[in-house]
Structure 1
Amino acid sequence: MSDQPRLSAQEIVERLGTAVSRRARIRAVTALVAGLSGAALVSLLWLTEPEPLPGRTRLAFALLTAICLAWAGYGGWLLTRKVVLFAADRVVAAWIALSASTATTVLLAVIAAGRGTGLWPVLAVGAVFAAVSLLLLARAHRERARLLRRRAELTT
């Protein structure tokens, strides 16, 4: 027998947070920096465009800025977590990806329809992005459910 005390399931779960935090922190910093950089770039492009901008163009700039800020917010949220997230971060990221791909597809489809140009290529590419986002979302939910079931098994 070992002289070391046995750890409870909760103590094991708490210690897991430090074991996986480096990768999660790299992901968080990447999302934060990329989101802030993207938001700054799009905002500067928007501000330096000659006036008056068409409404659709202003909407596109606003949408792209919002998407970038969502990723920056996600990165900041991850950096502030001190507990094991049980793949909640992946679920949130997949929802952001699905929302961004759907909103972008709708905006581009409205622009394409308004111009009378290729609507079907926009819808086809948008459908691919939305489908990939949906697959990632389903996978993230499955992984989260698996981890939560495993935690419940360990704590009972």
Structure 2
Amino acid sequence: MIEEEPRLSAQEMIERLEPSLSPWRRVRAVAALLAGLAGVVFVAALWWSEPGPLPGRTHGAFTLFTVFCLAWAGYGCWLLTRRVPLFATDRVIAAWIALVASLVTTVGVAGIAVQRGIGLGAALAVGGVFVAAALALLVRAHARRAELLRRKRELTGGLAGGEQA
């Protein structure tokens, strides 16, 4: 006698494709939140403890690093509050944050190298590695999201209406 597996509804199959927040994804969200908050505290403490007036470029650098850290903290908080399948939207957002941060940092470091007349090649090489890695993650995240949404459309018969993002 062959035992049949219980039939799953389309919604149950969709949830198995991309659960709302797996334990591993929850750990990643908490790590992003804590790392972002720790970065904000560290950068702010360093910024406020600098003696004397700082040049405008230094204030700009501290501001950018604070914004990057706040972006990661906000991402972690956003991810922890999601209760619906994300269909890899979280990966796409994380990859965009990484790409923007690596591009802006590379441009800033290259600008400093040009201004000082030293090491432009090294700055662009190292920055290029980070930009390339972030870009590869972004392409991979978009591909994964497209694959999951395609499967969702197949399961729901193309009537996926309001796709959760």
In the alignment, what sits opposite 1:107?
Answer: 108
Q: Deviations over 1:85-118 (max 9, x none)?
A: 1111000000000000001011111112122221
Distance change >3 Å, CA 55–CA 31, structure 1 → 2: same
Alpha-carbon RMSD: 1.7
Contact 1:32 1:73 in 2 (8 A): yes
In structure 2, runs of 5+ residues without a counterpart are 158-165
Distance change >3 Å, CA 124–CA 25, structure 1 → 2: same
Larger proportion of helix: 1
3-state DSSP class of the match of 2:26? helix
Identity of aligned residues (%): 61
3-state DSSP class of the match of 1:17? coil
Q: Deviations over 1:61-82 (max 9, x none)?
A: 1111111110000000000000
TM-score (norm 1): 0.92
3-state DSSP class of the match of 2:151? helix
Contact 1:17 1:82 in 2 (8 A): no
* 1:17 has 2:38 as partner: no
TM-score (norm 2): 0.87
Distance, in Å, in 2 between the alignment partners of 1:37 and 1:54 is 25
Corresponding letter in the other structure for 1:25:
R
1:132: Cα distance to partner?
A: 0.8
Corresponding letter in the other structure for 2:51:
P
